[in-house]
Amino acid sequence: MNVLKRLAGQTAIYGLPTIIGRVLNYLLVPLYTRVLDPAEYGVVTEFYAYVAFLYVLLGYGMETAFFRYSKTEESGKIVFSTALLSIIATTLLFLILAIGFSGNIASYMGYASHREYIIWFALILGFDSICAIPFAQLRQQGRAARFAFVRSVNIFTNIGLNLFFLLFCPFALKTWGSTAILEFIYNPDFGVWYIFISNLIASTITFVLLISSAKGVKLVFNAALWKQMIIYAWPLLIFGLAGVVNETFDRILLKHLLPEDSDPIYQLGIYGACYKISILMTLFIQTYKYAAEPFFFEQMKNQDAKLLYARVMNYFVAICGFIFAAIMLNIDIVILLIGREFREGAAVIPILLMANLFLGIFYNLSVWFKLTGKTFHGAMVAVAGMIITLVLNFLLIPRFGYIGAAWATFICYASMMIISYLLGRRYYPVPYNVLKISLYIILAAFLYYLSTLFKFENRLLIRFSSLVLLMMYVVIVIFAEKYHKPEVA
């Protein structure tokens, strides 16, 4: 229990800035969906979908390889320096190519008049990719407070600049009229422009903070070590790229698979805004991952490690089920996060929430191939998911639009979860309590379904019924955990 408390504590510390930042970022969604029309927000959605893909490509699994090979303080320094120099070299090559061909890339994407978008995002990706290794070092060293501080600076800088450009500047222009300073820094026609430039400034500041904190570190490149790390990491690159295809390509494909008369970029904007709400589940999963990955490697030599992993899975799914129930039982309030024009896509929210829950379980299950070094097998699971994603998107989007994209994501993550569980039983059997995990998932979904059967007009009754159902979930989970059947290795 002490070990689990430490994991929970580190998750809280790593997660605090992320949770606050993501919550504040979600508070930007109402701003974006009121300042921008769905077509403009579709541009934002598309660019960030590409960024997620390229970020994984530029990291090529070095972050996890760093955790794998940083066993002692001395070896950790060599691993850090080798990984960092490797990432810097490949990032510089990427920047040269991306900036050099920015005009061609912009034209291909349909933004020929906005070559600057490509340059900005190349720089954002460059800074963020290099920062991944220093961030990983902070996690490996258990320096959660420093990690949280730098993350917080990034988050609050980005959010503050968004508010400055999209709220304060229009207010100042309307209240005090045009001034020389205001004209220099603000143009009311550049809404999307300011979202991107805010991100670039925040990434630049983060880069400066992390690089300055790494002063005094002797940079040595160990070619033999690098070769070992690459052999370990390259399947993780495939794993990561396949994962990003599963997570983001529905938003990329929507633009190309929907018929022209349906205004694809408009539909993409609606889907992207509703997807933001579903990512509330991912918010917890991401913060948990920051602490869990080094934790899993640290505990691998513990004789009760497998029992510990099983117990962690129980708590993880219980919390995810609570998040699903809390959001869906109060969806009438949560949906207010996005503008009225975007709410027609609300039907995808429960589908995507449950899909992300399955993805979270898959991340927990991935312990079997990361600890055994069978990263190629893990990559193949992700590739199988990628094939499912692509096939289903091509089949479902033309017929059902973004609803089809949501179901493709759901089926993909459910399939990956099941395949990974079955392979894990063969290569690194962990005594997961499948019955209890299934109970939590079914219970959360059933309580949401139950809530749809009650059509109260009175808002007080709606809130009361939602609270009662949510408390039912909590009580059942507590009872199940208190009187659970212990896992047996």
Per-residue pLDDT tens digits for 111-151 = 888 888 899 989 999 999 999 888 888 877 777 778 888 88
* Of 15-19, 47-51, 236-240, 477-481, minimum mean pLDDT range: 15-19
Which pLDDT value is given to residue 15? 55
Residue 487: what residue type?
E
Spell out the alpha helix ranges (H) of 258-329: 264-278, 280-299, 305-329
337 CB contacts (<8 Å, ≥6 apart)? 26, 27, 29, 30, 276, 277
Which pLDDT value is given to residue 488? 46
Categorize the per-residue pLDDT at 216 as very low, low, confident or very high, splitting at 50, 70 and 90: low
Cα distances (Å, whole numbers) of residue 73 to 14, 67, 77, 421: 22, 12, 6, 34
363 CB contacts (<8 Å, ≥6 apart)? 285, 289, 292
Which pLDDT value is given to residue 204? 94
C-alpha dihedral sign at 130, 133, 139, 143: negative
168 CB contacts (<8 Å, ≥6 apart)? none
Which pLDDT value is given to residue 489? 42
95-107: burial string, b at 16+ Cβ within 10 Å, e else: beebbeebeebbe
- Is 322 within 8 Å of 474 (Cβ atoms)? yes
Q: What is the rounded distance in angstroms from the CA atom of residue 63 to the CA atom of residue 382? A: 18
Angle of CA points 60, 64, 69, to nearest 5°: 115
Q: What is the rounded distance in angstroms from the CA atom of residue 467 to the CA atom of residue 37? A: 35
55 CB contacts (<8 Å, ≥6 apart)? 125, 128, 129, 244
In terms of Cα–Cα distance, which of 133, 123, 49 is closest to 91?
123
The mean pLDDT value for 384-404 works out to: 91
In terms of Cα–Cα distance, which of 265, 207, 278, 238 is closest to 379?
238
Cα distances (Å, whole numbers) of residue 171 to 92, 168, 181, 202, 418: 40, 5, 14, 23, 52
Q: What tokens were used for 467?
A: 């609270």
Q: Read out DSSP for 174-234?
A: HHH---HHHHHH--TT-HHHHHHHHHHHHHHHHHHHHHHHTTT------HHHHHHHHHHHH
The mean pLDDT value for 363-381 works out to: 84
Cα distances (Å, whole numbers) of residue 307 to 360, 485, 489: 19, 12, 6
In terms of Cα–Cα distance, which of 403, 277, 285 is closest to 334?
277
Q: What is the rounded distance in angstroms from the CA atom of residue 154 to the CA atom of residue 20? A: 12
- Is 328 within 8 Å of 448 (Cβ atoms)? yes
Max mean pLDDT range (133-147, 175-189, 223-237, 295-309): 223-237
Residue 379: what residue type?
A
pLDDT at 311 over 60: yes
Residue 137: what residue type?
Q
Q: What is the rounded distance in angstroms from the CA atom of residue 93 to the CA atom of residue 90? A: 5
In terms of Cα–Cα distance, which of 364, 360, 202, 343 is closest to 279?
360
Q: What is the rounded distance in angstroms from the CA atom of residue 487 to the CA atom of residue 432? A: 7
The mean pLDDT value for 387-413 works out to: 92
pLDDT at 3 over 70: no
Residue with tokens 């061909």: 101
Residue 367: what residue type?
V
- Is 346 within 8 Å of 274 (Cβ atoms)? yes
pLDDT at 255 over 80: no
